[in-house]
Amino acid sequence: MMKLAKKLAKQWLGVQNRPVAVLIISFITILAASGLFLSNKREQVSSSFYLSNPKWNRFQSSVQFYPTVEFRNGTEVIWQIPDSPKAVLFLAHGCNGRAVNFWDRCPNCPNCVGLPEERLIVLHALARKFAVITISSAGECWSLGRGEERLVVKEIIKWWVAKNKLEKLPLVALGASSGGNFVSVLATDMRFNSIAIMIAEALFYGTDIPDDYPPTLFVHMPKDRARSRVINGNLEGLRKKGIDVAEIKCMEFPLYPNFLADKIPGLDQTVSINLFELFRKKGFIDQNGYMKKDGRATKWEEALGEMGTLLPDKPEMDHHIEEELNLAFAYHEMTSFPSERIFDWFESHMS
């Protein structure tokens, strides 16, 4: 910027009029610095505006959960098909997850949990006219070898697609963590139009990547540096195979008083504000609202007991809150924030 200022001053006034040129250089420098400050400020305001004016609320009246729960050979399957579906989406949870995490509790699914990020991904999908199928893993995490679980899931998806006469629709998949790695290997057995792998490196082994592997989107959190390095290598490996790839980097963001109320159904603003103040007093967040540690490593529940603050009487509420704290720290958590870009990616590969 200083070089540009000097160049402009010389052009306008000539090098002989040095005192005026110096004044102009100083003035332009101040303007440039102000411009940079304003630019950064706009970026901060934009981020704050996005978080405090959540797009997810628009789904509450236009999209409703009415899932169907089935068991196929002992495996839990939960699904919903919107009117005039244009694609099929398979969602794979992470470790310690289940299909019930993606759906709100309702008469059709009294055991559903509706974790904040999972449910919002489903709402985005249904709003974009994707039929959604979720399947629970047999164990705590998905089995990632070339074993029975991949065959079971492949059979369930094919059975369900045929049963609901969806064979002509594009098929896509999104998996997070263990589910992301599972989707990456399932894609070698099934034909997906494209896949999204979230907070997972994917199980690629160099030349083992098939030439017809589907277009792959990595949604990851660069704070997890070890995993990011592997993802970068896999991105390059897929590109060398001529496979269309892309990535979305999800960064940390600051909490604000109403954030938890905005994201978690059933948690009101008063509780959200009290929790924010608790986190601030206990030093769980810094002066700008950023989490100092992952939610899993923050003793917020213990502090809650000390303060005598009560959460709504819902057994899963602590899991909902922890998920959002993990998300704000942005190290390893499912996220709905880039849903628009994820579904744009899917739609761009459906022909």
Tens-level pLDDT at each residue, the chain (351 residues): 444 344 433 443 343 444 444 444 444 343 333 333 333 332 232 334 344 445 555 666 678 999 999 999 999 999 999 999 999 999 999 999 999 999 999 999 999 999 999 999 999 999 999 999 999 999 999 998 767 899 999 999 999 999 999 999 999 999 999 999 999 999 998 999 999 999 999 987 655 788 899 999 999 999 999 999 999 999 999 999 999 999 999 999 999 999 999 999 989 899 899 999 999 999 999 999 999 999 999 999 888 887 666 677 676 899 999 999 999 999 999 999 999 999 999 999 998
* 116 neighbors 263 (Cβ within 8 angstroms): yes
Residue 6 confidence (pLDDT): 41
Which CATH number fits the domain 58-251+334-348, given the four candidates 3.40.50.1820, 3.40.50.2300, 3.40.50.261, 3.40.50.1000? 3.40.50.1820
Domains of the chain, residue spans: 2-53, 58-251+334-348, 259-329
> pTM of the predicted model, to two decimals?
0.83
Task: Write down the pLDDT at residue 155.
Answer: 97
pLDDT of residue 71: 96
pLDDT value of position 93: 98
pLDDT value for 280: 95
